[in-house]
Amino acid sequence: MLRVENISVRCGVATTLQDVSFSLGSGRALAVVGESGAGKSTLIGAILGLVPCASGQISWHGAPVCQCHPALVMQEPRAAFNPRLSLRRSVMEPVVAQKMQPDLNRLDQLCQGLELDTGLLDRHPSEVSIGQAQRVGILRALIAAPPLVLFDEPLSALDAVTQKHTARLIAQMQMQEGFAALIVTHDLGYAAAFADDIAVLRAGQVAEYGAAHAFVAAPQTAYGRKLRDAAFALGALEHVA
């Protein structure tokens, strides 16, 4: 269980997160949504220990989050890899870092689940499409079987067709692997379709937090209703409500 308890993050005199709290259990997906500048990426940095908290506590089953070796899927797929290394070497970096025994059967199974040809891994990042690079990024995140995976805008660099395909693959892999998924996204349609719960960040604070289906049916705040109605107007929730 990931617990984020009343954390605040300050940058100079500005407060970027204030009294943020939520929890995330194994096998569940929490989507953190909000407009640009709301503090979503800062939250991921705080969970990973890359951004210091001025107050509050973040833990995984009562221990520091770093002890569970959380994985991160970044927004820009190609930028997430060393351009000089083959994708195969990059994928295996978490296994090497954690001094684990390489499991080629697991690699093959994950590639199959992500619809990746294992031969693709012998290429370099510049030699694959954006969609392929993002799926390889997910592969690298899952290779060491982390219990917690953080997704930072995992679909935003992809075209609409690839977005839908990748979203389904992420959901399928979560069901298969059973990891806890925290998904930062500005796409409320994606959040509502694939997350169990939604946390709405506004100006560094949690404006609304609860079950995804309940949020879509009846947001509890004016800001939540604004986000929901805008998503309906754009057609992003037409298959969710």
DSSP 64: -
Q: Which residue has the tokens 């609304």?
A: 208
pLDDT digits (tens, 9 = 90+) for 199-217: 999 999 999 999 999 998 9
Cα–Cα dist 221/78, whole Å:
38
Average pLDDT over residues 64-70: 95
Rounded mean pLDDT of 101-126?
95
Residue 187 lies inside a defined structural domain of this protein: yes
Which pLDDT belongs to residue 192? Answer: 87
Buried b (16+ CB within 10 A) or exposed e, 106-116: ebeebbebbeb
In a domain, 97, yes or no: no
Written as one string, the DSSP assignment of 2-54 is EEEEEEEEEETTEEEEEEEEEEE-TT-EEEEE--TTSSHHHHHHHHTTSS--S
Determine, yes or no, domain membership for 44: yes
* Residues 132-154: tens digit of each pLDDT: 999 999 999 999 999 999 999 99
Give the structural domain span for 31. Answer: 1-67+183-241
Residue 241: predicted pLDDT: 46
Of the listed ranges 36-40, 59-63, 149-153, the one predicted with least confidence: 36-40
pTM: 0.93
Please state the rounded mean pLDDT for residues 110-126: 95
Q: Is residue 40 part of a domain?
A: yes
The SS3 call for residue 86 is coil
CATH number of 29's domain: 3.40.50.300
More confident residue, 241 or 48: 48
CB 237 within 8 A of CB 228: yes
Is residue 8 situated within a structural domain?
A: yes
Q: What total of structural domains would you count in the chain?
A: 1
Residue 178 belongs to a domain: no
Lowest mean per-residue pLDDT among 150-154, 185-189, 234-238: 234-238
Would you say residue 158 has pLDDT above 80?
yes
